[in-house]
């Protein structure tokens, strides 16, 4: 036959890692950086609310009601004399917490179910996906509002309502990704390596499919914050007097002709938050998408 | 051969049913079109320490057979013996370890998010191949075996070229110390100059480790250099098996002849004109009656359209599924090529 | 000597970067194709062979441009020719066949109509006459029952039949030059054999020249009369097929021939070329093949070797060619 050893020796001598990754570093990614800065600042403000807020956000002071911005109250006061800036700062805590948690729970449930359905297929997949289809048939807001009505207003019922409705998106995204990933030869190779289904799903498929769900989660946080704001606006959200952006917009709109800043400033904060999260999602999708790693 | 083959399959079939929704069953009158006979009675054995080439065109079922051999697909019917013992339908950790696979596409076969070292370590630990303390040393040994070095341990698949990836995939297959390697077209996605290095690697593995290798390919020229025996597959069945030299010198199935004559040649003197095959492989949805090759076969007789020939011994170590196998030599001289055209300079 | 049908001179293709350091993919390429010649371009992936072909057909991918050089077709300059004028050449003068006919054919138009479209537009044929020509072309490419198959959609046909449709379409307007980009790579070996035969016969009949890009040396040997071997964007050897195959004068060509299995020499050892094709972004100063070349000397790493005539009609770009090959081949 052949004389491979000599050739192999020659081969080895010239062997070196040919392709270095010529990907620009993550900090050179504009939208990712913008997203990190905005979201980071918001999180910082929320965490440091007790230190940053000049006033108690709940204590009423009717003598100072409806004041225009002044050195004492930078953004003025509302109809109960509460400092708007302080309520915005404390509101960040509530809205971001609810936003993140309302995404985290359906993310975990939906991804897990979707991954299992996609990986094992069969009747399990059929049943689960029909359920998902059923949920998708209802408009998001209608479902959330109905569920909050049923469970009663308050933070925990918002979590339950949003989780009940939005896990289906994650299930569908992750299932689709798993269907693609499980056909890859490396999954077959892992099976031939004697690995259990659980190990393959968690260690080999998981990291390759979650990026899409994470990217979606960023835009989902935006949607959930909007939902909370909407619910607050409809009077179904976080019970007053807790500071929350949605109810602030709702309360402020009756004074829109005289004290426009009462509704507009919280509205702007919501817009900036959404923008930050969207950029973060864009940046992450650049960073995590598989073709960058090829 | 008196020695028990390391792997033997007998009368393996694999049928895929498509369009089996209720509506399709009602509207479609005959059921013929909806089932695909990927494998239609395959008999084959792999002997210890040999490289057996499995050759066929697309749709011949060679990849399906490879999947069944490694256990990632289950046959519809048939027997699969490993060292003379029936292989369980669902293999446990140790059973699947024995038969490993090298894939065609070196890009899809490596997980982009797992480093080479981590990939090897996982397998070595899972199967207790070596004590924990020696995992690293063993990983380096495996890499050296396939012509790579220690620095590959930290690297991710994206940092390697196609040929290097194929080496890594081979190292992964070897990590669990199999005695059979199924290679599914392992060089067809690689550049010519790289192909030779991988072919040599397989030859080395066979010689130094005593591995038995089933090498699936569509390129007969590649096979001729590497394998000791060749099995030719056509539409879900083995139509000829022989030792390599014998098969190329004395093919006893018209399809094998056509394959050999279709190989593009490297020297001008040997430009082949002899044997021109009409038509294309029929669809496995609709396998012809009688001999499955008869619609394309220039030697087909009436008997060929009614008899489905079985694989029979035509010479020592040489089996063919053609009822006219013994006449082929004389027939070749009397039958003219079907087309005569201007030929290349 | 008469004017060549196609004359490529100092063609350089690359990606223009705003900061000046352009990425060069095909570097200073020159070759001629005569009327009716069958010219093979051989190389491995990344050698620039397909881009060269695409530059001739004005089908370069977005961002990739002809940076300098000229492509003369029958004496007319194609580089910089207005698009409208150039498009008129594609079909009646130059046609192209691709590796994967499924993506080159329109999936929602019957194949007969797709073939007839060119003759109607360029030859001014009536709808009926164009369809008759289409069916005739299909018959010529060996498609059985062409009148019926003309009414089929691409997905209803096998890979081999689709490639025949592509050939019928490409030759329907009687082009003088047929560009083929790995036309048989995706086909099975018996079908490849058939398709190559059809291609050869039809080109002989119509007198069309063939520019045939492939990575398969044996296919070139069977199909072409002349060839150019490309490596990392350069032609490193060119000449008559039989001269180059029997007496290669560049170590890379020799390496390719030695590493490819030859059916007629089953006992010959396969000798792989060590190392890997170079990274185009990180070009070295000297011969692109030098890092993998067993015969490389210091001078090889200094400058890109000039193309020298080593025998009549046989060129190689290797400064050591004489030393390497005079001794080996008597």
| Cα–Cα distance for residue pair B34/B24, rounded to 1 Å | 9
Q: pLDDT per residue over A104-137, tens digit each? A: 999 999 999 999 999 998 899 999 999 999 988 8
Within the 117-156 window of chain B, which residues sit less than 8 Å (CB to CB) from chain A?
122-123, 126-127, 147-149, 151-152, 155-156
Three-class SS of residue B42?
strand
* Contacts B156 to A, Cβ<8 Å: 293
Cα dist from B87 to A196, A271, B69, B91, B236, whole Å: 19, 63, 10, 8, 21
State both tokens at B287: 């396998």
pLDDT attached to residue C5: 92
**Rounded-to-integer distance, Cα A134 and Cα A145, Å:** 17
CA distance B122 to chain C (A): 29
Q: Is C279 on the interface with B (CB under 8 A)?
A: no
CA–CA gap between residue A279 and residue A34 (Å, rounded): 7
C: neighbours with 3+ CB pairs under 8 Å? A, B
CATH class of the domain defined by B7-113+156-250:
alpha beta
Contact A237, A246 (CB under 8 A): yes
Q: Is C321 on the interface with B (CB under 8 A)?
A: no
Instruction: Quick: pLDDT tens for A271-290.
Output: 899 889 888 888 887 777 65
Plot region of C20 (φ>0 → left; ψ -120 to 50 → alpha; else → beta):
left
Does residue C292 sit at the A interface (CB-CB below 8 Å)?
yes
Q: Is B44 helix (H, G, I), strand (E, B) or coil?
A: strand
* Residue with token string 């049943």: A127
CATH 1.10.3720.10 matches A26-293: yes
SS3 B39: strand
pLDDT of residue C296: 84
Cβ–Cβ below 8 Å for B147 and A8: yes
Residue C121 makes CB contacts below 8 A (sequence gap 6+) with C91
pLDDT on residue B336: 41
Question: Residue C51 has which token pair?
Answer: 């881009």
Contact B112 A2 (CB under 8 A): no
**pLDDT for position B345:** 31
Question: pLDDT-derived band of residue A294, with 50, 70 and 90 as boundaries?
Answer: very low
HSE-up (13 A, CA, CB side) for residue C309: 3
Q: For the segment A238-260, what is each residue's pLDDT rounded down to a tens digit?
A: 777 788 888 888 888 888 888 88
Of A3, A14, A19, Cβ closest to residue C274: A14
Please check whether residue B172 touches A, CB under 8 A: yes
Instruction: Indicate yes or no: CB of C193 within 8 angstroms of CB of B199.
Output: no
Nearest to B193 among C224, C245, C256 (CB): C256
Contact across the interface for B158 and A294, Cβ inside 8 Å: yes
Q: What is the DSSP string of B242-290?
A: EEHHHHHHS--SHHHHHHHHHSPPSSGGG---S----S-PPPTTSPPSS
Averaged in consecutive runs of 10 residues, what is the pLDDT profile of chain B (345 residues)?
Answer: 82 80 57 74 92 89 91 90 87 88 91 92 93 94 91 88 91 94 90 85 92 90 89 92 91 89 74 62 79 86 88 90 80 44 34
CA distance C105 to C61: 18
Q: What pLDDT digit, counting tens, does each position of A153-200 carry?
A: 778 888 888 888 889 999 999 999 999 998 899 999 999 998 999 999
Q: Which of the two residues, B207 and A293, has the higher pLDDT score? A: B207
Residues 13-72 of A with CB under 8 A from C: 13-15, 18-19, 22
A29 — pLDDT class (breaks 50, 70, 90): confident
pTM attached to this predicted model: 0.82
DSSP state of A154: S
**Chain B residues in contact with A8 (beta carbon < 8 A):** 147, 197, 200-201, 204
The closest alpha carbon to C13, from C65, C87, C79, belongs to C65
Q: What is the pLDDT of residue C280?
A: 65
* Residue of B116, B126, B101 whose CA lies nearest to B178: B101
* CB-based contact C217 B192, cutoff 8 Å: yes
Name residue C8's beta-bridge partners: C31, C71
Within 8 A of B219 by CB-CB distance, chain C residues are 189, 261
Domain boundaries, given as residue ranges, for chain B:
7-113+156-250
Strands B229-234 and C314-316, sheet pairing: unpaired
Tell me, yes or no, if C34 comes closer than 8 A to chain B by beta carbon: no
- Are A250 and A232 in contact by the 8 Å Cβ rule? The answer is yes
By CA distance, what is C144's nearest residue in B? B279
Q: Which chains touch A (3 or more CB pairs under 8 A)?
A: B, C
Chains that touch B (3 or more CB pairs under 8 A): A, C
Interface of C with B in 227-246 (CB under 8 A): 241-242, 245-246
Put simply, the answer to whether A13 touches C272 (Cβ < 8 Å) is no
Q: Which two tokens stand for residue C306?
A: 């000039």
- What does each of the 330 residues of chain C score in pLDDT, given as a tens digit? 578 899 999 999 988 877 767 788 898 899 999 998 999 999 888 888 999 999 999 888 888 889 999 999 988 899 988 988 888 888 889 999 988 877 888 889 999 999 999 899 888 889 999 999 999 999 888 888 888 889 999 888 888 888 889 999 998 988 999 999 988 887 888 888 888 888 888 888 888 999 999 988 889 988 899 999 999 889 999 999 989 998 899 999 999 988 888 888 877 888 888 877 776 666 667 888 888 888 888 888 888 888 888 888 899 998 888 888 776 544
The predicted structure's pLDDT at residue A263: 85
Distance of alpha carbon A191 from its chain centroid, rounded? 34
């Amino acid at each position: 036959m052949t004389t491979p050893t000599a050739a192999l020796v020659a081969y080895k001598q010239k062997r070196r890692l040919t392709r270095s990754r010529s990907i620009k570093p993550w900090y050179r990614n504009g939208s990712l950086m913008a997203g990190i800065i905005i979201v980071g600042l918001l999180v910082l403000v929320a965490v440091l609310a007790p230190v940053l807020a000049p006033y108690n956000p709940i204590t009423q002071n009717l003598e100072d009601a409806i004041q225009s911005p002044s050195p004492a109250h930078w953004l003025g006061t509302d109809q109960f004399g509460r400092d708007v800036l302080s309520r915005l700062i404390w509101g960040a805590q509530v809205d971001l917490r609810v936003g993140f948690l309302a995404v985290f729970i359906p993310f975990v449930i939906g991804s897990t179910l979707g991954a299992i359905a996609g990986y094992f297929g069969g009747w399990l997949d059929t049943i689960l996906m029909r359920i998902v289809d059923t949920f998708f048939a209802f408009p998001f807001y209608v479902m959330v509002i109905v569920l909050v009505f049923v469970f009663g207003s308050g933070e925990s019922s918002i979590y339950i309502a949003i989780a009940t409705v939005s896990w289906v998106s994650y299930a569908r995204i992750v299932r689709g990704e798993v269907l693609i990933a499980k056909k890859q030869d490396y999954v077959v190779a892992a099976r031939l390596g004697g690995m259990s289904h659980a190990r393959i799903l968690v260690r080999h498929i998981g990291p390759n499919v979650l990026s899409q769900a994470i990217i979606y989660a960023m835009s989902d946080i935006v949607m959930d914050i909007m939902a909370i704001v909407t619910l607050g606006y409809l009077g179904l959200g976080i019970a007053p007097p807790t500071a929350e952006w949605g109810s602030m917009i709702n309360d402020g709109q009756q004074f829109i002709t005289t004290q426009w800043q009462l509704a507009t400033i919280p509205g702007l904060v919501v817009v900036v938050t959404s923008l930050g999260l969207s950029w973060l999602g864009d940046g992450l999708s650049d960073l995590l998408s598989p073709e960058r790693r090829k | 051969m008196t020695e028990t083959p390391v792997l033997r399959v007998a009368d393996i079939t694999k049928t895929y049913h498509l369009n089996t929704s209720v509506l399709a069953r009602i509207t479609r009158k005959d059921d013929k079109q909806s089932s695909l006979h990927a494998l239609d009675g395959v008999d084959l054995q792999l002997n210890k320490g040999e490289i057996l080439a499995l050759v066929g065109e697309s749709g011949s079922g060679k990849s399906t057979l490879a999947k069944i051999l490694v256990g990632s697909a289950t046959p519809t019917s048939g027997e699969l013996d490993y060292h003379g013992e029936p292989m369980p339908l669902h293999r446990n950790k140790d059973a699947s370890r024995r038969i490993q696979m090298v894939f065609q596409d070196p890009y899809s076969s490596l997980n982009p998010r797992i480093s080479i070292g981590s990939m090897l370590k996982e397998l070595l630990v899972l199967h207790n191949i070596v004590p924990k303390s020696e995992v690293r040393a063993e990983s380096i040994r495996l890499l050296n075996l396939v012509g790579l070095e220690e620095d590959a341990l930290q690297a991710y698949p994206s940092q390697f070229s196609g040929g290097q990836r194929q080496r890594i995939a081979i190292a992964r297959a070897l990590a669990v110390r199999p005695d059979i390697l199924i290679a599914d077209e392992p060089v067809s996605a690689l550049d010519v100059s790289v192909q030779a290095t991988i072919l040599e690697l397989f030859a080395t593995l066979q010689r130094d480790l005593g591995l038995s290798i089933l090498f699936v390919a569509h390129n007969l020229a590649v096979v001729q250099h590497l394998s000791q025996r060749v099995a030719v597959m056509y539409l879900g069945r083995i139509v000829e098996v022989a030792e390599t030299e014998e098969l190329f010198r004395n093919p006893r199935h018209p399809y094998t002849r056509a394959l050999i004559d279709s190989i593009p040649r490297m020297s001008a003197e040997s430009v082949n004109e002899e044997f021109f095959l009409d038509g294309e492989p029929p669809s496995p949805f609709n396998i012809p009656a009688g001999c499955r090759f008869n619609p394309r076969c220039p030697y087909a007789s009436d008997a060929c359209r009614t008899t489905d020939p079985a694989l029979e011994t035509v010479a020592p170590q040489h089996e063919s599924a053609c009822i006219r196998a013994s006449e082929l030599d004389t027939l070749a001289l009397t039958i003219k090529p079907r087309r005569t055209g201007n030929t290349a300079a | 000597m008469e004017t060549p049908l196609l004359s490529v001179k100092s063609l350089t293709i690359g990606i223009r970067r705003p900061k000046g350091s352009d990425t060069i993919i095909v570097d200073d390429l020159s070759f001629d194709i005569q009327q009716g010649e069958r010219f093979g371009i051989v190389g491995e992936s990344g050698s620039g062979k397909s881009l060269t072909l695409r530059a001739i057909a004005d089908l370069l991918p977005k961002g990739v441009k002809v940076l300098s050089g000229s492509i003369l077709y029958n004496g007319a300059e194609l580089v910089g020719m207005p698009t409208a004028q150039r498009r008129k050449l594609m079909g009646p003068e130059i046609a192209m066949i691709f590796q994967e006919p499924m993506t080159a054919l329109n999936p929602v138009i019957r194949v007969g109509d797709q073939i007839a479209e060119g003759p109607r537009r360029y030859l001014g044929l009536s709808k009926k006459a164009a369809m008759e020509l289409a069916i005739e072309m299909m018959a010529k490419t060996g498609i059985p029952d062409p009148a019926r198959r003309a009414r089929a959609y691409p997905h209803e046909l096998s890979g081999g039949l689709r490639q025949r449709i592509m050939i019928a379409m490409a030759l329907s307007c009687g082009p003088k030059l047929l560009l083929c980009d790995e036309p048989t790579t995706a086909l099975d070996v018996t079908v490849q054999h058939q398709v190559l035969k059809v291609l050869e016969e039809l080109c002989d009949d119509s007198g069309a020249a063939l520019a045939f890009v492939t990575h398969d040396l044996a296919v070139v040997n069977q199909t072409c009369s002349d060839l150019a071997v490309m490596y990392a964007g350069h032609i490193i050897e060119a000449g008559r097929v039989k001269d180059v195959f029997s007496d290669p004068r560049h170590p890379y060509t020799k390496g390719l021939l030695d590493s490819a299995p030859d059916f007629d020499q089953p006992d010959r050892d396969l000798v792989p070329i060590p190392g890997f094709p170079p990274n185009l972004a990180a070009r070295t100063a000297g011969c692109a093949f030098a890092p993998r070349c067993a015969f490389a000397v210091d001078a090889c790493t200094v400058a890109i070797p000039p193309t020298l005539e080593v025998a009549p009609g046989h060129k190689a770009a290797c400064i050591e060619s004489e030393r390497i090959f005079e001794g080996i081949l008597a």
